[in-house]
Amino acid sequence: MLHRVHLRFNMEIKASEGSIGIPFFAEGNLSDQEVIFGPDSISKLGEVAKELGDRALLVTDSGLAKAGHAERALDYLTRSGLETKLFDRSIENPTDSSVRACAEFARSTEINLIVGLGGGSSMDTAKGCNFLLTNGGKMADYWGVGKANQSMLPLIAIPTTAGTGSECQSFALISDDETHMKMACGDSKALPKVTILDPILTLSQPQRVTACTGIDALAHALESAVCTKSNPGSSRHSSEAFKLIEGNLPAVFSDPENIEARGNMLLGASHAGAAIERSMLGAAHSMANPLTASRGVVHGIAVGLSLPIVMAYNSEEQSVRSVYANLARIIKLVDSDTSDHDASKKLIGRVKELLMLAEFPKSLSELGFTHSEIPNLAQNASKQWTATFNPRPMDASIFEKLYSQLLNPEVCDTDFSEAV
């Protein structure tokens, strides 16, 4: 059964057909977003697209085009009468120049609707294209929040991975070509008008992608839950995301064809995206970005490697410990009378278990890093925007200590709370 849910912010959500199992709810001051969830929900693309425009640009990557997803999307759009152009050159970790190429292609057409189909990179390319096409300039001009003065085109987001949650965010993460700094470019007008969550589309991803995107989504849930911007509205999304992701990651690892688990992961990742939209992230993401920039470590692996040690560092703060403990209680990892201290330790242990199931590297040295690189990594981590929202203050010297701990393989089996 397909569920069509209207995310009308500041109001309770009304599902048009049976809201069972659709725990979308939100608070905030953003514009409306419609979420369509269910196996084969991509078949609704043409119907929803023609309500928003009649000339569409479909943004995706070459791999998804080969997998046949783009062809299907094109078919639904054209059968509903939309004239559609395909841009299938979005790249992993999109850059200002790759987004510019998409915008230049779009400029040669007369589109009035954008559809982003793929992982976070394709959806962010679609969003970035929207900024440049409607407001001009370069992506750096939109680094920050609310810098687009002109109206933007409606966007439909269709994720094919359960990871970034970009489909529920008004931010595009675009890297500067020269500095490799990831620029978070956000504007409420860039939020997708419609998001289609079809778990069948996530079946085509390789197991490695499932692991990397799933762990990234887990980190989104846990970092947004404790960051300094966390609030009651974002916390509800963080908790829902954590429950869904923690409960379904093992199933998508062991039984990749499990549609129910895939659907729950997709919902979980979207909740995590909605949580970030209403709050922020923290130091695990700050540590991850320099690893990606310097040695091309996949984002999910970089975040996963950094997450437990950052959680241990943060849980020295009682307010953070209490949030972690509640999450451990929500998933019944501990009894209700377990102390915050013990419950938060158990939660960190559970995260490590999930990382083991993902079969990720356990140290920076396994990824080829050496001690001499750490000061530079730490400097770069301290400059990341996300670091400013970490619940405990971060600076280069603290990042240096955390990276140093991660360099050594056996540290991964030690108690991280004693590490700093």
CB of 41 to Fe ion, least distance (A): 24
> x/- site string to Fe ion, residues 374 to 403, per CB under 5 A?
------------------------------
Out of 34, 61, 198, 216, the residue judged to bind Fe ion by CB under 5 A: 216
How far apart are alpha carbons 59 and 70 in whole angstroms?
9
Nearer to Fe ion, 198 or 216 (CB): 216
Nearer to Fe ion, 103 or 284 (CB): 284
- Whether 364 and 411 have beta carbons less than 8 Å apart is answered as no
Nearer to Fe ion, 34 or 216 (CB): 216
CB of 150 to Fe ion, least distance (A): 29
CB of 169 to Fe ion, least distance (A): 11
Instruction: Return phi, psi of residue 349, to 5°.
Output: -60, -40
CB of 287 to Fe ion, least distance (A): 12
Query: 248, 215, 254, 198: which is closest to 64 by C-alpha?
Result: 198
The CA dihedral of 177, 182, 187, 188, to the nearest 10 degrees, is: 130
CB of 43 to Fe ion, least distance (A): 30
Q: Which tokens hold the place of 177?
A: 């070509």
Structure letter (DSSP) for residue 95: B
Nearer to Fe ion, 36 or 221 (CB): 221
CB of 275 to Fe ion, least distance (A): 12
CB of 283 to Fe ion, least distance (A): 12
Q: Which tokens hold the place of 256?
A: 């990749």
| Residue 137 buriedness (CB in 10 A; 0-12 / 13-18 / 19+) | exposed
Segment lying near Fe ion (by CB under 5 A), choices 96-104, 166-174, 209-217, 320-328: 209-217
Contacts of 65 (CB under 8 A, 6+ apart): 71, 86, 88
Contacts of 201 (CB under 8 A, 6+ apart): 42, 69, 158, 159, 160
* Residue with the shortest CB distance to Fe ion: 216
How far apart are alpha carbons 371 and 282 in whole angstroms?
24
Size of the site for Fe ion (CB under 5 A): 1
Segment lying near Fe ion (by CB under 5 A), choices 149-157, 210-218, 265-273, 406-414: 210-218
Query: 89, 90, 85: which is closest to 112 by C-alpha?
Result: 85
CB of 322 to Fe ion, least distance (A): 24
CB of 286 to Fe ion, least distance (A): 11
Nearer to Fe ion, 41 or 160 (CB): 160
- HSE, side-chain direction, 13 A CA sphere, residue 179: 9
Segment lying near Fe ion (by CB under 5 A), choices 71-79, 213-221, 252-260, 385-393: 213-221
Nearer to Fe ion, 278 or 345 (CB): 278
- b/e for 285-296, b at 16 or more Cβ within 10 A? bbbbbbbbbeee
Nearer to Fe ion, 84 or 202 (CB): 202
Give me the residue label for tokens 């589309």.
Answer: 201
User: Considering the rule CB under 5 A, would residue 124 count as an interface residue with Fe ion?
Assistant: no
Nearer to Fe ion, 74 or 281 (CB): 281
User: Considering the rule CB under 5 A, would residue 187 count as an interface residue with Fe ion?
Assistant: no
Nearer to Fe ion, 299 or 362 (CB): 299
Residues near Fe ion (CB under 5 A): 216
